Amino acid sequence: MTQKVIIIGGIGSGSVIAEAIKDANQRGYNEISVEGFLNDRAEAGTMLDGTPSLGIHTSESIKEFYNRGYKFIYSLHRIGGERRMIQLFEELGLKPEMLATFVHPTAYVARNVQIDPGAVIMPYVMISSAAHISLNTLIMTGATVGHNTTTGEFSHIASQAVVGAYIKMGKGSNVGLNATVLEYKTIGQFSVVGMGSVLTKNVPDNEIWVGNPAHFLRVAE
Ligand SMILES: CC(C)(COP(=O)(O)OP(=O)(O)OC[C@H]1O[C@@H](n2cnc3c(N)ncnc32)[C@H](O)[C@@H]1OP(=O)(O)O)[C@@H](O)C(=O)NCCC(=O)NCCS
């Protein structure tokens, strides 16, 4: 049976995920369907890049839809805004069992990869053996995750980034567009590897690193 899904979010990551789910449906993948958005400002019926808003997100509206059999994808994400997004997730009463997981059919995901609730794996992503994709990880188009790597809860890997093997990403961490991370490295909680960077060292918590080889830029917000 197809699981009906509501995306918490809207234009941006939300609409990108909505379109990827619709594309998957056209290719014959019918495990989930996207019914609309719940977000912070668009009233029910407003179209957001081709997908309707079902209303404003509140803990009540989420509970009501969940009781009616819907599940959720939490797409809210902003570099520097992760703490607030995690706080909102908790305020909205969202729990792992209320979340859907989406793996686009063009993604290569080794059969022994662990994928936790709420994870989104977009088209043409590659995830190698024994990786662990944690709660609400968002892996964007064409990114690669090496074997035995663990992503952090609420972490984000941007398009075309390459995260090597045996890497540990912290909660709320980000790897930017087209960045590359050397194997066995650690990216701390709420830390960022900037777009195009080549990371060869461990990044502590709450730091932004950029460049090739990547160096400390500033403390993260
Ligand atoms: C790393 C990042 C967060 C820094 O943002 P910021 O704090 O606003 O930084 P600024 O733009 O003020 O730049 C500060 C300095 O760092 C440099 N810099 C910024 N990002 C850089 C990067 N990725 N690589 C190399 N240098 C970078 C800037 O050129 C600037 O250098 P200068 O002081 O010599 O002029 C941002 O540049 C970035 O890479 N974001 C990721 C984008 C992304 O992947 N989005 C994915 C979704 S679309």
Q: In the CATH scheme, what is the homologous superfamily, with its name and number, of domain 101-214? A: Hexapeptide repeat proteins (2.160.10.10)
What value does the mean pLDDT take over residues 173-186?
98
To the question of pTM greater than 0.85 for the whole model, the response is yes
- pLDDT tens per residue across span 192-208: 999 999 999 999 999 99
Task: Look up residue 13 and give its two tokens.
Answer: 């990551």
CATH 1.20.1440.230 describes domain 3-98: no
Q: Tell me the best of 157, 190, 193, 195 to mutate to test the pocket of ligand 1, counting ligand atoms within 8 Å of each CB and taking the most.
A: 195
Q: How far is the CA of 162 from the centre of ligand 1 (A)?
A: 18
- pLDDT tens per residue across span 125-165: 999 999 999 999 999 999 999 999 999 999 999 999 999 99
- Map residue 180 onto helix, strand or coil: strand
Can you tell me the distance from the alpha carbon of 50 to that of 76, in angstroms, rounded to the nearest whole number?
A: 18
Q: How far is the CA of 61 from the centre of ligand 1 (A)?
A: 37
Looking at residue 221, what is its pLDDT?
82
Q: How far is the CA of 183 from the centre of ligand 1 (A)?
A: 23
Of all atoms in ligand 1, which is nearest to the CA of residue 176?
A: 44
Q: Tell me the best of 217, 218, 219, 221 to mutate to test the pocket of ligand 1, counting ligand atoms within 8 Å of each CB and taking the most.
A: 217
- pLDDT tens per residue across span 97-125: 999 999 999 999 999 999 999 999 999 99
Q: Tell me the best of 210, 212, 216 to mutate to test the pocket of ligand 1, counting ligand atoms within 8 Å of each CB and taking the most.
A: 210
Q: Which of 161, 155, 218 is nearest to 187 (CA)?
A: 155
For the chain, the structural domain boundaries read 3-98, 101-214
Confidence of residue 46 (pLDDT cuts 50, 70, 90): very high
